[in-house]
Amino acid sequence: MLNMTVPSGKKPLLRPFGITLFVMLTSLAGCRSEQPATPTVPRNWVNIPALPIIQDAVFSLSPTFAGQRNHAVMMQVCGLARGQAKQEQVNAFLVQQNVDVAHVPKHGHDLSLLVNSDRPAQATACAAYLATTVLSPVDVSELTVAVPPESTQGKAPEQGKQPVLQVDNARLANVLPLKLAAARANADVFVLIAAELQRRPGLTVNEYREQATQLFERLASVYLECIEAQLPPAGSTYKLLQMDTDRFAFSSSVGSLFEYGRDGMTLRQNGVIWYGQGELMGQAYPLQVAYFEPAIDGLLAPSVEQQP
């Protein structure tokens, strides 16, 4: 038998095993009691990416005129929103469009934003219009010019031949930086909205859309500042990759790849999806949406607690 007697005047090197085990179990029990319970997610909730909901909200804020987008009118609205145009200049524009300024009401008319001096509403309309320009199909005709077919051997072009469309390089050089800035501003502001919506779980799709609408309205002036800040630096170069009815794509020397096709707009920054395919800055930002009625719970499998 081992002699466990401790010499007089010396302390044992090890605590008795029973006491040590008791202390360990007590400590573990205390840790477990401090762990928060995992909340139960209602069964009628499903995860939906925030991006399409935010896009729908912003489109609802983009003005139309006689049911159509009007770039010339919206540039006047943006001029007022940014303080870059005076009311007298806008009135002169309306006169050129055969519009009687005195008969345009302050509210309820397609052109009210041009005469009512409502700066917040003008900023919201301008921001929504610019945000949706990169989310809409590209009008190739605006970036091309029709030239007559080349003559051969000094002869005049043959009769009946159609003009040839060529890329308008001057126009393209102006448009590409603006599209890139708008796409980047979309990513900046939309990701801010998406993160805020994630803090409000359990809303319906319509409620999330309404929340996104209100958030974009409040952030409209921030969006306009983002566009200015996101313009590529002077000296940036661009390469047009494709421009037709199926796809509009270009790259830039600052690591951006912009593409608009059948799946909408996608912006990649240094290989990361910055905007598009349900993602913002490389993440999907799913929302916990109350997609079905709560009664759906009774049609699903019983919970673990209900099982025998």
Asked if pLDDT for residue 138 goes beyond 50, the answer is yes
**What one-character-per-residue DSSP string does 118-146 give?**
-HHHHHHHHHHHHHHHTTS---GGGGEEE
Q: What phi-psi label fits residue 204: left (phi over 0), alpha (psi between -120 and 50 degrees) or beta?
A: beta
Which of 8-17, 142-151, 182-191 is least confident?
Answer: 8-17
End-to-end CA distance of the chain: 53
Task: Place 165 in a pLDDT band, splitting at 50, 70 and 90.
Answer: confident
Which of 33-37, 42-46, 75-79, 90-94 is least confident?
Answer: 33-37
The position carrying tokens 């080349």 is 150
Q: Residue 4: which H helix or E strand, with range?
A: none
Q: Residue 164: which H helix or E strand, with range?
A: strand 164-167
pLDDT of residue 13: 45
**Pair of tokens at residue 33:** 């009691």
Task: Place 80 in a pLDDT band, splitting at 50, 70 and 90.
Answer: very high
Q: Over range 73-83, report the average pLDDT.
A: 96
Which of 6-20, 49-63, 94-108, 244-258 is least confident?
Answer: 6-20
CA 266 to chain centroid: 10
pLDDT per residue as tens digits for the range 234-276: 999 999 999 988 899 999 999 999 999 999 999 999 999 999 9
Q: Check residues 138 and 152 and name the one with the higher pLDDT.
A: 138
Task: Place 66 in a pLDDT band, splitting at 50, 70 and 90.
Answer: confident
115-122 contacts, C-beta under 8 A, 24 or more apart: 115/87, 115/90, 115/91, 117/80, 117/87, 119/80, 119/81, 120/217, 120/220, 122/77, 122/78, 122/80, 122/81
pLDDT per residue as tens digits for the range 286-304: 999 999 999 888 898 776 5
Q: Check residues 42 and 4 and name the one with the higher pLDDT.
A: 42
- Whether the pTM exceeds 0.85: the reply is no
pLDDT per residue as tens digits for the range 3-39: 444 444 444 444 444 444 444 444 444 444 455 555 6
pLDDT of residue 50: 98
DSSP 103: G
Q: Over range 83-95, report the average pLDDT.
A: 95
Instruction: Find, among 243, 174, 206, 268, the residue nearest to 57 by Cα.
Output: 206
Q: State which amino acid sits at residue 38.
A: T
pLDDT of residue 29: 47
Please report which residue ranges of the chain form alpha helices under DSSP H.
17-34, 50-61, 71-81, 87-96, 119-133, 169-198, 205-218, 220-229
